[in-house]
Structure 1
Amino acid sequence: MLKKFKALFPKPPFKSAGYPKRIYPGHAAWFVREVTNDDIKALLAVERNVYHGKLPWTKSAFLSELISPLPHLYLCVEAEAILAFGGCRIIGNDAHITNIAVDPDFQGSGIGTFLLQELEHFAKKNGCLTMSLEVRLSNRDAQRLYRKLGYVSRAIKTAYYDQTNEDALDMVKYID
């Protein structure tokens, strides 16, 4: 019976990474910590800013990821409010980046790179050999960032995004 309800309780924080912790990209003092169910409204606000009013993920999609029994890590960066978030789910020996977003006012500040590096650390701790993600074909800035961090293109997924039918570029990083 307890197994049925295990998914309803938040998993313990990823303690070995020392969350929450203070980070200093540029001159600002920001904190990184694990996302909780109470943060979903703020994550949706970041998405609205990034996607010009649209919401690629719903509240239930975030909730589903946060209570998943699969190993996962979702982090947010905040000052007075959440400015960015990112997360991955481990399936087999792959850490799949499910979602990452940085408020447009803070893009280019190193937060996206920082989040991806933290997720890679989590992937390595869990024995992953690869990290994978999908990115919109139109999102050239994100593709440049991923390539800079060692991701390579694998394939194009036609009409991958439901709302727009936009194609996605499937990318992978092979972890040493």
Structure 2
Amino acid sequence: MIRELELGDIKELLAVQRLTYDGQTPWTRSGFLSELYSRYTHLYLGVVHEEKVIGFMGVRLFLEDGHITNIAIIPKFQGWGLGAFLLQEAEIFAKSHRCQTMSLEVRKSNSDAQRLYRRLGYVSRRVLPNYYNENNEDAIDMVKYLC
């Protein structure tokens, strides 16, 4: 089941991150609160299996861009097309608000995610040096042109 996320889901979102990112939680509770209460138009969707959130995605709209703020699927459920489905839902949402682009950042080491994004039409714009705080890893800034 896919549904919009609520404040009560934050504990499960943190758990999804721990499982997806080797025990790390790149986003804190306050980070999720900030996004869910953002004044910018946004959409946060969760994938629920057996009453547990197993994945989620957030998109925030700014001007004519739909920016993927976060996407994570528990490793056990990766490869099932859930990430692609969530990204397509984000794109539908962005298009309905007249966005011209979709954007995201991805870890330089995350070749699986990069492959998914490229398959869905994203292209690399530039490398963002030392983007991730916890290990100073570079990010690749990617964009998809919707028009």
- Which consecutive unaligned segments of at least 5 residues does structure 2 have? none
Once the two structures are superposed, residues 42-92 of structure 1 have per-residue CA deviations (whole angstroms, 9 ceiling, x without a partner) of 000000000110110000000000000100000000012111000110000
Who is 1:166 aligned against? Answer: 137
Q: Mapping of 1:137-148 within 5 angstroms?
A: 137-148=108-119
Who is 1:19 aligned against? Answer: none
CA RMSD of the aligned region, Å?
Answer: 0.4
SS in 1 for 2:26: coil
**Residue 45 (structure 1) aligned with residue 45 (structure 2):** no
Who is 1:70 aligned against? Answer: 40
SS in 2 for 1:108: coil
- Which consecutive unaligned segments of at least 5 residues does structure 1 have? 1-30
Once the two structures are superposed, residues 108-137 of structure 1 have per-residue CA deviations (whole angstroms, 9 ceiling, x without a partner) of 000000000000000000000000000000
Aligned amino acid, residue 35 of structure 2: E
Q: Which runs of 4+ in 1 moved over 4 A?
A: none
Who is 1:94 aligned against? Answer: 65
Aligned length: 146
Aligned amino acid, residue 145 of structure 1: L
**Cα distance between partner residues in 1 of 2:24 and 2:47:** 21
**Residue 109 (structure 1) aligned with residue 83 (structure 2):** no
**Cα distance between partner residues in 2 of 1:79 and 1:151:** 28
Who is 1:12 aligned against? Answer: none
Q: Mapping of 1:127-146 within 5 angstroms?
A: 127-146=98-117
**Cα distance between partner residues in 2 of 1:163 and 1:171:** 21
Who is 2:125 aligned against? Answer: 154
Aligned amino acid, residue 161 of structure 1: Y
| Structure 1 length-normalised TM | 0.82
**Cα distance between partner residues in 2 of 1:131 and 1:84:** 20
Give the strand-richer structure, 1 or 2. 2
